[in-house]
Structure 1
């Protein structure tokens, strides 16, 4: 009897309560509803204009609702709804950084990320107030004539003519560890609020003090982006372009590419991921007609950059420089004999130009350098079989 009553109660509950599919979110209906914007038509035409569009069925709806096609439109309420959702996401990101910063109010890393978030959203007044509070929280006493930026300069060792503030003794060791992020914060502040000369001095000061590789990458990307923004005029002079190119070359030549293998101080490997990112940024500053020449110059600076070499081949092929492409492919195949991608590019181009003897020669050279490459052997055997090769050759 007890089990029967439970079954009956469950059956009644299924009748009166909507069935929600699993792994879905059942949301309440919106409070507002867009007004139907119907066209004024004659009664005879209204029947012809009415199209059976079935609206998305709600979980609590027993019968699917049918609306006129003129009801399915984007109204101002819809736009306001989606705009409010986008604003909510931005506000959520800001609130998360604010909450994290409030839990660790002396962390320069967190405040730097919060500052970038506020600057992206255009909340500069909030940023100025928080910057003043953050710098004052690091000091025991701050004279009235000293600005928060002067406190930051004092911590970074930049000489000022004002009276030095007194830092908290319990934060001295922590501030030493946070000096790299304080340099990033100083550069960011000078870019947003300072002049061009002050920003350049801040970047140069930071590049001479920061030693962490990831932060050096961040500094250089911000420095190059700021320098290019200063040249964003209709026709920058040749001298300005030369100075910008010199800065890019300095970045590519000074940032290290060798990374030590874990648990070994004698072995290392080369990583050009950051350098290729800088190359992409640099190419975006010039028209496509100059990309081939720029890539060729950069290839001489970084002769072991495989990705840059492949990019040069791609650019030569897009420009239609077939003969130059062949010359570059031969040089790169000899420079990178163990790079499978370069061999494949040269072989594919030889196939498109129907140079059978050249393709066979490339396969032989590639297999001599990569004898254990299964993909290369497979392509070579399929080519011989497709062209009716002899059984001895296939063996």
Structure 2
């Protein structure tokens, strides 16, 4: 009896020591650096400092508050991301002496209001939370050559199962179509990891995992009728043929004509110097052509006519290998819009394109004329062909 008496405290102490190794926590509040107002719905990701491997993640509430618990002792990097703000990161350490970390107020810089002499760097977060969707960036999880998607998912879920916030995913869709029936593990065992660009799992209602692929052979065609797509078309060799005002007006008038003929519905757009991006659906055929085919064919004809008349140097740089003038690249990208969360993500991407990165075409997204940003801000359609996507999805 005495031996048992001494063993019980031993196991209690062992359990306490083991549990205490995972009792660390970190919390903070995300604020706009200028207005000092809370920034809600930021994605908070904790990474190992040594190798940037994913440890945990959560989303801040509408007051910008977040807290992550059950963290082992170690050195970490906390990454904060939001679609409208530049990313921010904080370093912290969980130790025996300091288990509960309070980072306090963390300022985020609005992408449209970058201060002078502020250099902002960004990285793609391994995990992004958007409303009811968890989106994984596959590039953040290293796998061996010839690995399958199951190997990649094991970097996120240790047993390779497809889960969303602890709930088991019921089916896998590849670009919107059910793949290998109702057993997600059959799909993940048969799909190559190097084709996987990103995955997102709905976490409410029916649990479904969406998998997007780089391989264009298995990407769903962007010519499907009555389906809303995020679509990008790029000028051949990335030449800035869309800089002239007359070329922009040709595109706008073409979109309006197709819309007036009830062949397309345009929900968002942006015209950039060397590419266009749309949220749109093709609602009927233009004779034997798709509306997309008609748009590219007609605008290419007009652009080429302008180039020849002006004897522009670009004329000689839009020749393809078959020596014919080719205005648009042939690998235009189309991604189907499945739900409101993805629609909002693509809408933000389109509208912030002119004010971000190398372009800096405007200081504010709604001040850039050649996009639908002002329409979503004011409800006024200056182009005569725009529809609000959230009235459809």
Q: How would you bin the TM-score normalised by the shorter chain?
A: under 0.3
Larger Rg: 1 or 2? 1
Give TM-score, length-normalised by structure 1: 0.25
Higher relative contact order (CA 8 A, sep 6+): 2
* Structure with more of its chain in strand, by fraction: 2
* Structure with more of its chain in helix, by fraction: 1
